[in-house]
Amino acid sequence: MKKLSFLLVVSLLLSIMPAKADEGMWMLPLLEKLNAKKMQELGCKLTPEEIYSINNSSLKDAIVHFGGGCTAEIVSDKGLLFTNHHCGYSSIQKLSSVEHDYLNDGYWAMNLNEELPAKGLTVTFVDKFVDVTDRINKAIAKGKTDEEKGKAYEAEVEKIVEEATKHDKTLDAEVTSFYNSNAYYVITTRTFKDIRFVGAPPSSIGKFGADTDNWIWPRHTGDFSVFRIYADKNNNPAEYSEENVPYTPKQSLKISLKGFDKGDYTMIIGFPGRTTRFMLSEEAKETQNINNAISIFARGVKQDIWMEDMQADQKVRIQYSNKYASSSNGWKKWMGMNETFDKLNIVERRAAEEKEFNQWVNANKKRAAKYGSVVDDINNEVKGRAEYFYVYRYINETVSAVELVKASSMRRPGQIEAFFKDYSVETDRKLAKAMYKIYKEKVDPKYHPAFYERIDKEFGGDIDAFVDNLFDNSVFASQEKYEKAKAEGYDMQKDPATQIRKDIYAIAQVIMPEVMGSNHKVAELKQLYIEGVLEMQGDNAMYPDANSTMRLTYGQVLPYSPRDAVQYDFVTTLDGVMEKEDPDNWEFVVPARLKELWKAKDFGQYALPNGKMPVAFLSNNDITGGNSGSPVLNDKGELLGLAFDGNWEAMSGDVIFEPDLQRCINVDIRYVLFIIDKYGKAGYLLDEMNIVK
């Protein structure tokens, strides 16, 4: 296990400044050292201590990790928070039914008693980051073999976590690696489990444009939802209880109605999920030609099946809305990535960077001895694993996607109950027929699960007949069948769905050692490669890849030109919603009340100086998945809007940032407040907010 020493990391980072103001997902503890001067030059009026402090209340205390996959911000001293509609979508779906369709109709609690418990939802505050690189490296150095080094690492991590939490039992701690395991921080957090749904617009506002407009500018989506954090009487995290009270935060955001102009300073703090900015050329090919291509194809088929049934049945629509949204978001993103990989020559650009790195390495004998083969070693390993990664992707996207078979592994009563609440057996039957056919056609027979032999021998190769037999005879096809079988002592291991799962698992057992072994080897090589890149960069600051830890990105409100003779403005208005309206297309239906407000120009204090109602705006902040719901802040740290999307022309941004093209799409906070106040008639919520006019 090779490590870049802590002192080397510090020496490389302390005296350097970022090359581009609009690129970078920066670590908050390093803002003073790396970013403060440039941020101030762009117009930021806050000090790094006001943004991130471990001793005093700071801006980071108003921002939370929402549900583990999004970001949210506290907007009142009573624990009220904003996030995206698509971030709250899963919780809203769970609360919805045919009788109470909060997805379709929206919902607004008119007092605390009407706020709905969002079971299973959590929000997490960051307490602090502490650099433990030196401790980890010293512990690892004591080991002589890889096994000893691994055990030493685990033992030291356990000590660090225990020390970090022993004086405060409300804290959790995790040691997280950065720069591909060239640096380590222990991050302490505090998680709240009693979260309640306060309100959201109908999907015709919160998802306006749906798949068609997803990742596309101009955008006209009111992508927001409102929740509240509850705590015990001591303001500490607690499980749901009627005795709990609204949480009093250390800090909440001020909300600005003053708006912005082109070029104004913006910053975003959030929890970006994953980037691969150090991806090599063969990894880029693998991403494009295997991972993305397979998922695009398989999910396209799956989503068409789901959508057909969703449009035909209201119950199925509610059951599958969140499943569909989760699937389609990645599906369209990967299509955009593949398109931009070609248009922007991502593979060729990565190869050119590798050539530059190798030239630098070979110019010095000591460097050549250390880093000389690392690029070729990574690329060769990735090329050599293509067959296994191809099969692994098809397993995940096809035969493992059948819900009936997934259900056969469930044992907990609550788990089974939740499964059947959102399950349509006939929809899943159609899906199984399609997925089993795709896998048979696309994957070498030597990787076919054993049930394909039964299809040939017992059903004459008729996959449809096999699937019908499976669904007709499995107890997991309905809750009634399952409960009856359980009461009668039925052996679930003998169920045909369980056997299918075992057959798939047997193939996975062949594939997974190869996949995991290769991933481990590439990770070790990448650690060495990044060590070399850090050394080569010298005076150019580098931020680590996103890994779901809190980061800050700063930039400006800016338009962009996607292609020759086309110029996109940086703001959209409610006029654009009405221009897109199509009553016959569910993606572009406009609620009657919204049309009434627009016709009457009843926008109140939320309108632009020209009298129009703003909806969304652009900034050049560097974001990715996980930043959804993040606050877009002005130079004083006041809330301007919520980040919710990227733009189509720069869908390769997780790999290479495109400063001229890459934009963050944000819902304007004035539209959020307008919908709450004027449309939702829940203006009382604004009374607890600190609104700057």
At residue 350, does pLDDT exceed 80? yes
Which residue(s) pair with 366 in the sheet? none
Query: Residue 628 catalytic?
Result: yes
Q: What is the pLDDT of residues 469-484, one digit of tens each?
A: 999 999 999 999 999 9
Question: 558 with 523, same domain?
Answer: no
Nearest to 556 by CA among 481, 647, 666, 426: 666
Query: Residue 448 catalytic?
Result: no
Catalytic pick from 203, 628, 630, 652?
628
Query: Residue 85 catalytic?
Result: no
* pLDDT band at residue 22 using 50, 70 and 90 as cut-offs: low
Catalytic pick from 86, 225, 474, 654?
86
Question: 562 with 618, same domain?
Answer: yes
Percentage above 70 pLDDT, the chain: 97
In what helix (H) or strand (E) does residue 126 lie, and over which residues does it extend? Answer: strand 123-131
Tell me which residue range forms the domain holding 569: 43-98+197-229+254-270+552-693
Dist CA 349 CA 355 (whole Å): 10
Report yes or no on whether pTM surpasses 0.85. Answer: yes
Q: Residue range 300-315: average pLDDT?
A: 98
CA dihedral 203, 208, 210, 215 (to 10 degrees): -130
Total number of domains in the chain:
2
Question: 437 with 340, same domain?
Answer: yes
Question: 225 with 368, same domain?
Answer: no
One-letter amino acid of 232: D
Q: What is the pLDDT of residues 166-224, one digit of tens each?
A: 999 999 999 999 999 999 999 999 999 999 999 999 999 999 999 999 999 999 999 99
Dist CA 476 CA 479 (whole Å): 7
Q: Residue range 122-144: average pLDDT?
A: 97
Question: 531 with 655, same domain?
Answer: no
Question: 336 with 472, same domain?
Answer: yes
At residue 8, does pLDDT exceed 50? no
For residue 249, tell me if it sits in a domain. Answer: no
For residue 665, tell me if it sits in a domain. Answer: yes
At residue 5, does pLDDT exceed 80? no
Question: 287 with 403, same domain?
Answer: yes
Q: Residue range 654-661: average pLDDT?
A: 96
Catalytic pick from 61, 101, 223, 635?
223
Q: What is the pLDDT of residues 582-635, one digit of tens each?
A: 999 999 999 999 999 999 999 999 999 999 999 999 999 999 999 999 999 999
Question: 502 with 610, same domain?
Answer: no
For residue 339, tell me if it sits in a domain. Answer: yes
Dist CA 26 CA 24 (whole Å): 6
For residue 531, tell me if it sits in a domain. Answer: yes
For residue 237, tell me if it sits in a domain. Answer: no
* Among candidate residues 467, 500, 535, the one where a domain is terminated: 535
Q: What is the pLDDT of residues 42-99, one digit of tens each?
A: 999 999 999 999 999 999 999 999 999 999 999 999 999 999 999 999 999 999 999 9
At residue 412, does pLDDT exceed 90? no
Q: What is the pLDDT of residues 511-538, one digit of tens each?
A: 999 999 999 999 999 999 999 999 998 8
At residue 19, does pLDDT exceed 80? no
Q: Residue range 236-246: average pLDDT?
A: 98
At residue 27, does pLDDT exceed 80? yes
Q: Contact 134/6 with Cβ under 8 angstroms?
A: yes
Buried b / exposed e across 456-492, counting CB within 10 Å, b at 16+? Answer: eeeeeeebbebbebbbeebbbbeeeebeebeeeeeeb
For residue 144, tell me if it sits in a domain. Answer: no
Question: 459 with 505, same domain?
Answer: yes
- Domain containing residue 60: CATH number: 2.40.10.10
For residue 621, tell me if it sits in a domain. Answer: yes
